[in-house]
Structure 1
Amino acid sequence: MRKDYLLTDNGVKAIAKQSAPDKVTRHSDGNSLSLIQHPNGSLFWQMSYRYQSVKDIKPKQKTYQIGIYKSSKQVIDSSFKPQVSLKQARIERDKAKALLADGIDPTEHKSVEKNNFEQKDLFKVIATSYLDEKSKTTAKNVQKLQGFLDNHILKHLGDYPIGAITAQDIIKTGLAIQATFEQQGKHTSETAHKCMGLISAIFEYAINTLGYDITNIAIGRNKALRPHKAERMKAVEQHQFPELLRHIDNYIKNHPNGHEQTVAGLQLMTLCFVRTKELRFFEWSEIDYHKNVWRIPAHKMKMRQDHIIPLSPQAIAVIERMRPLTEHTGYVFYNFESNKTYSEAWFNQALQRMGYTGDPYPKMTGHGFRQLASTGLYELKFSKNVIEIQLSHLDQSSVKNRYDLSAHLAERQVMMNQWARHIDNLRTGCAVNFGLLSPEALNNVMTERGRQEMQIVAYEKETLIRYLKSKGVSQEILAKLAEQL
């Protein structure tokens, strides 16, 4: 008599924890069910059976693939859950046995079932539903994703049910998109990589939101493409920055039909190095005059997280120049000709009118001010964390990074004031090269920055204590709070 139920849950987990074997190893559970251990570290369930079709002279030995217990990339730890457990594998084995008893080949039956799909299962239908969900983001982002689908992805995958798409289908799609750009003379394509990422996101949406019982086989398939090296954002070099500042200041003089708001907007970008969208939709209500900061709400930020920009006296002066002109609109910058906020291209077009097109001056865009500020602040010896937080590059989703965001605010206030003074010095040609400072002079600068940061922290502490006292908080509690602060 053949024995059945030879494996246990703990026994299978123990096998999974073993080092991968040199060759495929079979662990029998009995009654035709086996756990297959592959040299790449994966484990999966198989059922062996014999079946004779009408075309066969005699029964053939066949294998029915039940499912994966553990993929090669999964790690066995306290949170591990098998994709197909021992119990589930036995149930599927019994179903396959029942089909055999009725004269049905379970492998053929599975193939037929796989091809039975409804219109809603098609990749193009699920992709459309995914974009409807993404409509909560910016219209520009949705338009870009729709372009990836219409121009590149759907012609390859659109008419397939999502459960029938294979890893090779996705790889072939990526290679086809890459080949399209090769024909245009581009050796690597950022679009091909972004399309692969979009396919993976649609699979995740189908699994997590629509409840499809499939595996995201699109993960990692971009490795089949040539690596894409991102081009550096167009911007002038540091030594060309002073000339750019003077061109901005003289914009109205050289372009009499130009808007004063254009000058102010470009000046504010040099001081605050925000993204163009954040500048265009800057509202008066976002200014906190008590702390002299600009608070940008999450929905306006690329990272979808609130952002704080300390405003230097120079930045405040630029903003206040706009108050008589635009305060009644609610926006700091407002295009009265079109009766709406400025377009995405407005400030870039102003730079082009100044000649920053590659001839006679290097190409320059609004985003280039962020690159100039990043390089300049590193040269001024500010810390990486402070710079990256101010550029809103750091992920602030974790508790630690949210704490850092608050803890570095005093340092950022000092940094933004120093950056504004540095820009003033660049205009007049008397900026200090920190690389040429003696160790003693550099130490004095750092000590002075530390003193300024402490003054800001002390002022904030005193302001908070005065406010709480005015609200009737007891002296005892205030004393404890002051001690903790």
Structure 2
Amino acid sequence: MSLTYTAIRAAKPRAKPYKLADEKGLFLLVQPSGGLLWRLKYRADGKEKKLSLGTYPATSLSDARARRDAARKLLEASVDPGAARKQKQAEQALSIANTFKSVAMEYIDKIEREGRTASTTKKARWFLELLAPIGERPVAEISPQELLATLKKQEARGRLETAQRLRSFAARVFRYAVATTRASSNPAEPLRGALVSPRVKHRAAILEPKRVGELLRAIEGYEGQPTTMAALKLAPHVFVRPGELRHAEWAEIDFDKAVWIIPAGKMKMRQPHSVPLSKQAVAILHDVQRLTGRGRYVFPSTRSAARPMSENTITAALRRMGYGGDEMTGHGFRSTASTLLNESGRWSADAIERALAHKDADLVRAAYHRGAHWKERVEMAAWWSNYLDKLRAGGEIIQLSRITS
């Protein structure tokens, strides 16, 4: 006999749970507390089992019967509905745990443990914030269209380079998700070429010897923080990347051998880099050592000696000296050195490239060059610093012989 709504409404709690039977294994369990629970009794693998189908009145009699019929269809297909439910619940729990945000944080922690620079992981966390629209979505369920919509929001705001870098970061996270079996595909890969490419902006730099001399004299007259002035003085002599300069540590400086050894974790190409120090560079470092030598960083932050100088310090100092963004940047010291050293005709292109720590696509060739050009690089560092001294003094400009192909 089928269960009716009248019978359900008439059911009263008793001291012990009791059943109100419907059809095909469905029954309503009446609890002593007054709760009404839908249950399905069935057999699978030779055993009697029960499946929860909801509570009354949230699940009506007709809804409970529909759920019963769906479960019986699974049984007809030799599928245990209870086991199928547990599998689905496990998959849903896994999807919730493996959101894009959680996988991205795991990826960021991984690269941090691998020794990536603090600036790299800081940017990665910033990228993750910008990707918040997909942050709580299961990483395996994100489609290329969904990711593209998030990237297009940045593009619509004119942040073309940011959109490109976000796609690249997302691609790395999805690649990690695939490698760790949390996703089966990388939805960022099909989006190559889908975003507007930003115009390449060359970093401004002073390339004329006479104007380089003027810049060096302006640095000598700088009246800001002593550590900032020291960093400005050293930058032209070592022409490392701004991030490498401001993260310099005293433990990396070997005064006896006149060399600065930058660990791989701080280098863009993830290879350790040795910088020969001219006598002028050593003198500058000795001067700043009296100010910051007891701390970790050669050029610490003015707010805390436990942190390096801000990434905007050098650029801000150049602006205060009157050099606009279209004239000179902190990165421009590298371009200045690269251009004038090449135009001097005195040094091999390979030695200059090694001094700039540029990546060599040929790994065997790169490994050879690291050792083969050291002597030339030491001599080049000395010559370059002497040349800068002459330019700063405003003396006779050394004629540079332009190399022709």
Query: How high is the TM-score relative to the length of structure 1?
Result: 0.58
Distance 1:353 1:269 in 2: 17
Q: Is the 8 A contact 1:351 1:365 kept in 2?
A: yes
Q: Tell me the alpha carbon deviations over residues 184-238 of structure 1, each in whole angstroms, 9 at most, x when there is no partner.
A: xx6xx11111111111101111122x22351224225221112233211133343
Are 2:142 and 1:165 equivalent residues in the alignment? yes
The match for 1:344 among 311, 319, 326 is 311
In the TM superposition, what are the counterparts of 1:370-381 in structure 2 within 5 Å?
Answer: 370-381=334-345
Change (3 A) 1:436 1:300: closer
- Residue 144 of structure 2 aligns with an amino acid whose one-letter code is A
Q: Which residue of 2 aligns with 1:222?
A: 192
Counterpart contact for 2:296–2:305, Cα < 8 Å = no
State the Cα distance separating 1:351 from its structure 2 match. 1.7
Q: Distance in 1 between matches of 2:364 and 2:379?
A: 24
Contact 1:323 1:332 in 2 (8 A): yes
Shift of residue 377, structure 1, vs aligned partner: 1.7
Q: Does 1:117 align with 2:87?
A: no
Question: What does residue range 8-27 of structure 1 map to in structure 2 within 5 Å?
Answer: none
Alignment-mate amino acid for residue 169 of structure 2: L
Q: Is the 1:190–1:230 contact (alpha carbons within 8 Å) kept by the matching residues of 2?
A: no
Q: Secondary structure at the match of 1:389?
A: helix
Partner of 1:140, secondary structure, is helix
Give the whole-Å Cα distance in 1 for the aligned partners of 2:199 and 2:267. 25
Structure 2 counterpart SS, 1:308 = strand
Note if 1:154 corresponds to 2:129.
no
Larger Cα-atom Rg: 2
Q: Which residue of the partner structure matches residue 37 of structure 1? A: none
Q: 1:386 aligns with which of 338, 344, 351?
A: 351
Query: 2:174 touches 2:183 (CA, 8 Å); kept in 1?
Result: no
Cα 1:196–1:329 shift into 2, 3 Å: closer
Counterpart of 2:377 in 1: which secondary structure?
helix
Cα offsets for 1:161-204 (capped at 9, x unmatched): 222233333344433432232xxxx6xx1111111111110111
Look up the SS of the partner of 1:294 in the other structure.
Answer: strand
Q: Is the 8 A contact 2:205 2:333 kept in 1?
A: yes
Q: TM-score, normalised by structure 2?
A: 0.68
**Change in CA separation of 1:434 and 1:147 when aligned onto 2, cut-off 3 Å:** same
Matched residue, 1:233: 203
CA RMSD in angstroms, aligned pairs only:
3.3
Q: C-alpha separation between the residues in 2 aligned to 1:436 and 1:202?
A: 46
Offset, 1:396: 8.6
Where in structure 1 are there 5+ consecutive unaligned residues?
1-98, 440-485
Q: How does 1:40-55 map to 2 (within 5 A)?
A: none
1:411 paired residue among 368, 373, 376: 376
- Note the 1:464-479 alignment, pairs <5 A: none
Q: Give 3-state SS (helix, strand or coil) of 1:435's partner.
A: coil
Task: Look up the match of 1:72.
Answer: none
Report the CA distance between 1:384 and its aligned residue.
Answer: 3.1
Q: Deviations over 1:293-350 (max 9, x none)?
A: 2111223323332110111122122222234443333544456774444333333332
Is there any run of 5+ residues in structure 2 with no aligned partner, and where? 1-73
Q: Note closer, same or farther for the CA distance 1:176–1:286 as it changes in structure 2 (3 Å cut).
A: closer
Tell me how far 1:116 sits from its aligned partner: 5.2
Partner SS, residue 205 of structure 2: coil
1:174/1:222 contact within 8 Å kept: no
Matches of 1:337 and 1:166, distance apart in 2: 44
Query: How far off is 1:367 after superposition?
Result: 1.7
Call closer, same or farther: CA 1:320–1:213 in 2, change over 3 Å: closer
Cα–Cα, structure 1 residues 214 and 338, in superposed 2: closer, same or farther, change >3 Å?
closer
Greater relative CO (CA pairs within 8 A, separation 6+): 2
Q: 2:156 maps to what in 1? A: 179
Q: Is the aligned partner of 1:196 residue 2:150?
A: no
Whether 2:105 is the aligned partner of 1:138: answer no
Q: Kindly, what percent of the aligned residue pairs are identical?
A: 36
1:421 maps to a residue whose letter is N
Residue aligning to 1:267:
233
Q: How far apart, CA to CA, are the structure 1 residues paired with 2:100 and 2:302?
A: 45
Aligned-residue offset at 1:159: 4.0
8 Å Cα contact 2:344-2:402 kept in structure 1: no
SS in 2 for 1:117: helix
The residue number in structure 1 matching 2:221 is 250
Q: CA deviation at 1:421?
A: 2.1
1:326 matched residue in structure 2: 292
Which residue does 1:369 correspond to in 2?
333
**What is residue 67 of structure 2 aligned with on the other side?**
none
Offset at residue 247 of structure 1 (A): 0.4
Shift in CA distance, 160/282, structure 1 to aligned 2, threshold 3 Å: closer
